[in-house]
Amino acid sequence: MNWQTEIRQTAYAALAQRDPGLSLLLGITASITLALCCYSYFLHPLANVPGPKLAAVSPLWMMRSLHGKHLNRDIKRLHDHYGEFLPLCASAGVVANRVVLGDIVRVGPNTVSFATTVALTAVHNAGSAGGSGKEAFTKKGTIEWLLVEPQAHEKLRKAVQPAFTIRELRKQEAIQQNWITAYHERLDFAAKEGAEINITEHISQLTWDMLTLQRTDRGHDFLSAIVGTERKGIHLTQDELQSNAAMLVMVGQDATVTCLSSTLYFLLRDPRQMARLRDELSAAFAREGDITGEAIARRPFLNGAISEAMRLISPANGTGMHRQSQGGYVEGVWVPTGVTMAVDQYTIQRSPKYWKHPEEYRPERWFDRGPGSDF
Ligand SMILES: *[C@@H]1O[C@H](CO)[C@@H](O)[C@H](O)[C@H]1NC(C)=O
Ligand SMILES: *[C@@H]1O[C@H](CO)[C@@H](O)[C@H](O)[C@H]1NC(C)=O
């Protein structure tokens, strides 16, 4: 008999005999839980922020959403829901005159979510909140903090930045074109075979190869740039080298794969938009060799198609971007010390307040804003 069964049976036995010790223990646990729930619901500084009751008293609401992998959609639904009920809860004390209900919701006992661009600036631009210049919303304890821990950050920036100058990026162009040509051949082959392929896997493989594989013409890629910092008098320890390289690959690869696969997803679902993209590209490029980074940066529809995919499916969707309040105002609302807060990109990027036809994939919204246009 394992220990779990044993405990369960003892508990049942005790319950059956109405063991006074156990009843007392259960009673105390229940009272403490109830007291904590009451505190969270009625007395907590966030008590007046609208949100589901379950989220106000326990982390269960967030856990359920996370588990079901629909946290983004759930948070957006809350912002929409409480926005609609504005007249009913307009008396909520914490909400100052500037903020509209629905712009802030409580998603956990100690966690709030904002959905305005003003909040985005206040929370993520250092020194802009509170006015005193101090960081009112620290990254401490967040993923971001791990990535850009202050002393390491300066060193990392010096090490990595040289690899991202236009000149360096141009040097990498030839390598990238080789990879892309090889990739094309693989796709052509699959197409001739009539095979079904998983494009996400293909893109993932391609970007991984481009970022990490050993090359014969070493020296013009991101990793060599980091490794080469020693020569420039920047000393990274072995650990720093490894974790920075790993971080760059992870962040770079993940974001690129998400961005490319979602762009393809939307284009494949919308033949009209795909045809517009094909027209733009075939008019601009006669040969594969003409397709350089600089040239594609000037193609409005292509860039619109990518931006629009990133708007709808953001590679950094807000998870892990939360901040810890040190006490500060956001949108005129006082956010007490210790409260975890997030500005929900997903909601903002699909909000009718900021976008026309927010749920539609419309690349032209990024460049066609003239008179007579929809945007
Ligand atoms: C948001 O990002 C996290 C981490 O990358 C991921 O697990 C989650 O599925 C994403 N959610 C949506 C709705 O894209
Ligand atoms: C395609 O590949 C991705 C990444 O490996 C995976 O998450 C997804 O489930 C795959 N899709 C299909 C239809 O197999």
Domains (range + CATH), the chain: 47-138+325-343 (no CATH), 150-319 (1.10.630.10)
Q: What percent of the chain has pLDDT over 90?
A: 27
- 335 Rama sector, left if φ>0, alpha if ψ -120 to 50, beta otherwise: beta
Q: What is the pTM of this model?
A: 0.76
User: Which one of the ligands is nearest to 254 CA?
Assistant: 1
Please tell me if the CB atom of residue 200 comes closer than 6 angstroms to any atom of ligand 2. yes
pLDDT tens per residue across span 230-256: 666 666 677 766 766 676 777 778 888
Confidence of residue 176 (pLDDT cuts 50, 70, 90): confident
**Strand bridging mode 111-114 / 323-325:** unpaired
Q: How far is CA 83 from CA 51, 79, 177, 198, 215, in A?
A: 11, 6, 48, 39, 54
pLDDT tens per residue across span 129-170: 444 444 667 666 555 555 555 566 666 677 667 767 777 777
What is the predicted pLDDT for the residue at 353?
Answer: 87
Confidence of residue 363 (pLDDT cuts 50, 70, 90): very high
Please tell me if the CB atom of residue 201 comes closer than 6 angstroms to any atom of ligand 2. yes
Residue 362 or 229, more confident: 362
Please tell me if the CB atom of residue 69 comes closer than 6 angstroms to any atom of ligand 1. yes
What is the predicted pLDDT for the residue at 138?
Answer: 67
Q: Report the separation in Å between the CA atom of 313 and the middle of ligand 2, taken as the mean of its atom positions.
A: 16
CA 76 to chain centre: 14
What is the predicted pLDDT for the residue at 362?
Answer: 95
The minimum-distance atom of ligand 1 relative to the CA of 69 is 9
Q: Report the separation in Å between the CA atom of 182 and the middle of ligand 2, taken as the mean of its atom positions.
A: 22
Please tell me if the CB atom of residue 254 comes closer than 6 angstroms to any atom of ligand 2. no
The minimum-distance atom of ligand 1 relative to the CA of 317 is 1
Please tell me if the CB atom of residue 317 comes closer than 6 angstroms to any atom of ligand 1. yes
Residue 97 has pLDDT above 50, yes or no: no
Please tell me if the CB atom of residue 67 comes closer than 6 angstroms to any atom of ligand 1. no
Interatomic CA distance for residues 126 and 309, integer angstroms: 28
What is the predicted pLDDT for the residue at 223?
Answer: 66
What is the predicted pLDDT for the residue at 234?
Answer: 65
**Long-range contacts for 187-193 (Cβ within 8 Å, ≥24 apart)?**
none
